[in-house]
A and B are shown apart, each in its own frame.
Chain A
Amino acid sequence: MRRVAIVGAGLTKFYRNTQETPKELAYEATKMALDSCEMKLSDIDCVVHGTAPDAFDGVHMKGEYLSDGSGAYRKPYMRHFVGGGTGVLSPIHGWFHVASGMFDTCLVVAEEKMSSAYPHPAGAFLTIFDHTTEQPLYPTLIYIFAIEMNRFMTTHGYRKEDIALVAVKNKKNAMDHPSAQLPAEITVQDVLNSEIMAWPVNRLDISPTSDGAACVVLAAEHVARRITEKPIWIDGCGWSLDTAYWTTRDLYYPDYLEVAARQAYKMAGIKEPSKEIHIAEPYDPFTYKELHHIEGLMLAPRGKSVQMLVDGHFNRNGNLPTSPSGGLLGVGNPIAAAGLMKVIELYLQLKGTAGKRQVPGNPTCGVANAWGDLMQVGTVVVLRS
């Protein structure tokens, strides 16, 4: 296998409703990514695209619809989709193309426009559940995440007011992110006093509905070294899927993620993740989920992540900064684009070009993950400078 690097990145602004079409958003992110490394579309051998349910847009075969905005005209093009896990599968999918030796360069584009679905995109999720044993009970995503959060809390004895610190941290980190939709200085009390959606989940425990797009440019080593003095290497990839019988899993722990993380760490030669990884972008569509994923990534022992959070371990100037971007809670959650936004944050941080968000200590190794489908898929990438 050949070594593959990220050499450029682009990101749109994230909003609840954008005037731009999905294709136009994809174009903006892709154009910015190519410009960032002074490449032209003609330098690109192939394109991969990540985007989540067609039902958001009401456009069947959304991948094909988006291809022109992603620079895929008459190029090898593939769309991938694993629900919320899509955005971190995106660079993995691009990595296949380049690591295999088939292509030297690949555009990795992720786009999501959730705002088209009315009255709320949440309704589009009813059909992810089993049509016979679950749909007649009218479940929705927020219910099952709250169900998981409660299991996580009751197993470890975690308190809501401590978990709320994730929202405080991430929304504050997002103040320095130019694409951020919901940057804010808030307090734990603000989170606890926000509207109950599905206890234990309050409104400020949740990331927003968003529109946006993101893009990275991948290159094989011999090409990457010509493009930039500091390529950022994709050194580890992992992905796995747990059972769709989600009510028979013990939801207190993300096994799907541990399997994927072990695969990525093995590929990257990482033996002690909590020591060898300097920054992390754990997937945080909900406050508890960042902690759940920190444990699944083995960056904290099971049952200890909350104390580490309270102690400031995961702050931007802490021992292991998590979601220095501001995460989905602060920057926003255009599903696939949000996952790739996290990978872009690692890229910028490891390159030393994260601006006001730059974490101290010259980090050289970072991990990002995303999660989705029926709460069952884990996608992980490890990047190194």
Chain B
Amino acid sequence: MEITKKMVEKTATKLSAEEILGGKVLSVKWEPKLKYAWDNGPAIGRYLAELKNGKIIAKKCDKCHRIMIPPRMFCELCWVPTGEWVYVKDTGIVNTWIVGYVDWKAKRLDIKGGVRPITPGIIEIDGASKGMGILHHLGEVDPWKIHRSMKVKAVWKPPEERTGSITDIKYFKPTK
């Protein structure tokens, strides 16, 4: 049997956001306020502590020899506990990136008004195994001049402002 226009037309009724938010259609509004304290475990705990010191640390798998960042207590490929801690560099290359005109809530940025687009990317960290990237932002660069394999370096917050967070690195900027 074919699914026809006549069959589907009465299954759903179209509304506009204005009809809902404007109160023409009654709705109930709720804003959740939830609080969590997430434990980070020994691997990410050490990662954060090292970021506070201005260093990036990885962990090595003794079986596949991958130097992994972010560090982890077990290798998800070999399924064994990981071995030694390895300091890696705070430089790397751009694996891939975007030029964002919306924020995380899909709200438009005022690009025409001079707001810089948001430029997150995946940075492959020097000293970690090939392809080991982390998510971070790119800065001090024309968004439209970013390119694949561009060499970049971390720009750190001053030591007194660091809290032990991924945001202790402000962003990565191109190296000359």
Q: A residues touching B (Cβ–Cβ < 8 Å)? A: 9-20, 25, 28-29, 32, 36-37, 58, 115, 119-120, 122-123, 126, 131-134, 136-140, 142-143, 146-148, 150-151, 154, 178-179, 195-201, 211-212, 243, 245, 247-251, 344, 348, 353-355
Contact = CB atoms under 8 A, between A and B. Distances in A.
Interface in B78-104: 95-104
Nearest to B30: A58
B105 A19 contact: no
Contacts of B115: none
Contacts of B167: 136-137
A17 B1 contact: no
B8 A20 contact: no
Interface in B6-44: 7-9, 11-17, 19-20, 25, 30, 32, 36, 38, 40, 44
B120 interface: yes
Contacts of A150: 96-98
A139 B119 CA distance: 10
B9 A13 contact: yes
A236 to B, nearest CB: 24
A138 B96 CA distance: 17
Contacts of B9: 13, 178
A17 B48 contact: no
B122 interface: yes
Contacts of A248: 68, 131-133
A376 B28 CA distance: 35
Given A178-B8, A197-B102, A251-B96, A15 B14 contact: yes
A204 B134 CA distance: 29
A277 B24 CA distance: 49
Contact of B14 (A18, A37, A137, A247): A18
Size class of the B contact interface (CB-based, 8 Å)? 35 or more
B101 A198 contact: yes
B12 A12 contact: yes
B176 interface: no
Nearest to B48: A132
Interface in B121-153: 121-122, 131-137, 148
A142 to B, nearest CB: 7
Pick the most buried of B3, B13, B48, B76: most chain A CB atoms within 10 A of its CB.
B3
B100 to A, nearest CB: 4
B149 to A, nearest CB: 9
3 A-B pairs with least C-beta separation? A12-B11, A151-B96, A199-B99
Contacts of B47: 133
B102 A18 contact: no
Contacts of A243: 76
Contact of B120 (A120, A133, A139, A250): A139
A14 B8 CA distance: 9
Contacts of B102: 140, 142, 197-198
